[in-house]
Amino acid sequence: MLVAGIDSSTQSCKIVVRDAGDGRLVREGRAPHPEGTEVDAEQWWQAVQTAADDAGGLDDVQAVAVGAQQHGLVALDASGEPVRDALLWNDTRSAAAARDVISELGDGDEARGRQLWVEATGVVPVASFTVSKLRWLADHEPDNAGRTEAVALPHDWLTARLRAGGGPVVAADLTTDAGDASGTGYYDAGSGRYRDDLLRLAFGAEPALPRVAGPGEGVGEATGLAAGAILGAGTGDNAAAAFGLGIGPGDVVVSIGTSGVVSALADTVQPDPTGTVAGFADATGRRLPLVCTLNASRVLSTVAQLLRVDLDALSELALSAPTGAEGIVLIPFLEGERTPDRPDASGAVHGLRVHNAQPANIARAAVEGLLCGLTDGIEALRQQGLPVHRVLLIGGGARSRAVREIAPQVLGCDIAVPTPDEYVANGAARQAAWALSGDESPPAWEVALTESLHADPEPHVHERYRSVRELTEG
């Protein structure tokens, strides 16, 4: 039997069709998404259809599930239509709204507000989270806010479109899962329930929210595209990637995509009022403590464009420069930043002098700066008491030879590189297979490793980065 997994990410839609029993890849397809930090959700649906055609169709699959970018706001009216374009996770205009809801919960005391938010939901609002975007909508577009009868995340909305055969979404039929709900800011992953009081504080109303399905639950059947296929619960992209990798205790996933993500598996998460570690849920009923940066693979593509080279040439340049880039440090806050929480920050280059102003050093500094931000994430998980026995490096940025070779030096630990693959889509496909089987436990799919990377740690790179990071404005 065949199952399909859909990855509706920031930049594109990917679909994999796999054998339900052993996870063997049968075929795959993809389609691009438009640029921008707000998108007409209908374009996601069109991309799903295009990617399905590119994959040879989904008529023969018995189950399908969706993994999609987290936090995005799809506000629906009474007829199930979006009231406006969806606001994506990387839209930072809601930064002031995040600060407002923190302050208000703390009665004007920001520190108290942070503590209360993390105790209530496991997270502290930042611009990325849905709760902050809802406040922004209420403040800046009150007419659209007043028309909002239901709120969905991207994966919730796409699952509903599959159920409706591409027709209008029925708000009462919306479903989500704990992994994606835990990134909204109004769901408590510890107790497994929504915090309607926080939703009301942020939005001034209580629109309908998706039912939170169990990890291996089937949530209906697809009609139209993949007609008759069981719909798996689906989840957010980070939980889907972790599930696709089959991580266990002691594993830390470092994902370099549009965002940079450091995550691990845990039974419990210590509240972090700084907001650095988000206490998300995973796709299996456990927890997925996670640190996220806004800037990852686009740091490489942007610097490659600046140097007028392609990504392969950027990698070769970086590897030709010495460790530490002869004193140049690049702070990669090109689109603001989430960790640390500096939505108005910009990138910066420190230590530039006549003797070191070479393309190779700039390229090296870009790779090292990107990896230093992820090193902060690993340190934050260690401070939570989480063991770091194995680091798995995935994502489009991990395809860079410079990233792979420099990573163990900067991260300070050995690196395992799984076979390059679509792990978000794979996780969704594995969820679909779980729903199809009806078993208590998910199917065991093998994940192959292509490289084990070792290098002597170079802690001075991260130390230098930290010493100038605080000089960055924003």
Helices (H), 237-296: 237-245
What positions carry a catalytic annotation? 237
Q: Kindly tell me if the per-residue pLDDT of 473 is higher than 80.
A: no
Q: Pick the closest to residue 281 from 260, 267, 292 (CA basis).
A: 267
What are 222's two structure tokens?
A: 């697809």
Instruction: Please check the confidence at residue 474 and state whether its pLDDT lies above 70.
Output: no
The pLDDT mean for the chain works out to 95
Angle of the 95-105 helix axis to the 110-121 helix axis, nearest 10: 90
What digits encode the pLDDT tens for the residues 388-417?
999 999 999 999 999 999 999 999 999 999
Check if the beta carbon of residue 199 is closer than 8 Å to that of residue 150: no
Dmax over CA atoms of the chain, in Å, equals 66
Secondary structure element (H or E) that encloses residue 48, with its range: helix 41-54
Residue range 129-133: mean pLDDT, rounded: 98
Region 361-381 average pLDDT: 97
> Domains, the chain, ranges and CATH?
2-245 (3.30.420.40), 246-412+444-474 (3.30.420.40)
| Three-state SS letters, 448-470 | CEEEEECCCCCHHHHHHHHHHHC
The percentage of residues in the chain with a pLDDT greater than 70, rounded to a whole number, is 100
* pLDDT higher than 70, residue 2: yes
Long-range Cβ contact pairs of 345-351 (< 8 A, separation 24 or more): 345/472, 345/473, 345/474, 346/472, 346/473, 346/474, 347/295, 347/472, 348/468, 348/471, 348/472, 350/468, 350/471, 351/327, 351/468
**From CA 207, how far away is CA 205, in angstroms rounded?**
6
Report CA 179 to chain centroid distance, whole Å: 11
Alpha helix positions (H), 359-400: 359-383
Distance CA 310, CA 19 (A): 36
| pLDDT tens figures, 63-83 | 999 999 999 999 999 999 999
- Of 330, 327, 323, the closest CA to residue 353 belongs to 327
pLDDT at 308 over 80: yes
Rounding to the nearest 10 degrees, give the CA dihedral for residues 215, 219, 221, 225: -70
DSSP3 helix / strand / coil % (the chain, rounded to 5): 40, 25, 40
Q: Are 407 and 399 in contact (CB under 8 A)?
A: no
Burial class (CB in 10 A: 0-12, 13-18, 19+), 220: middle
Give phi and psi for 170, each to the nearest 5. Answer: -95, 110
pLDDT at 137: 98
**Roughly what angle, to the nearest 10 degrees, separates helices 311-320 and 401-411?**
40
Give the Å distances, CA to CA, from 346 to 125, 196, 265, 317. 21, 35, 32, 24
Nearest C-alpha neighbor of 256 from the set 227, 293, 286: 293
The confidence band for 341, taking pLDDT boundaries of 50, 70 and 90, is: confident
Instruction: Count CB atoms within 10 A of the CB of residue 211.
Output: 16
Q: Residue 98: pLDDT above 80?
A: yes
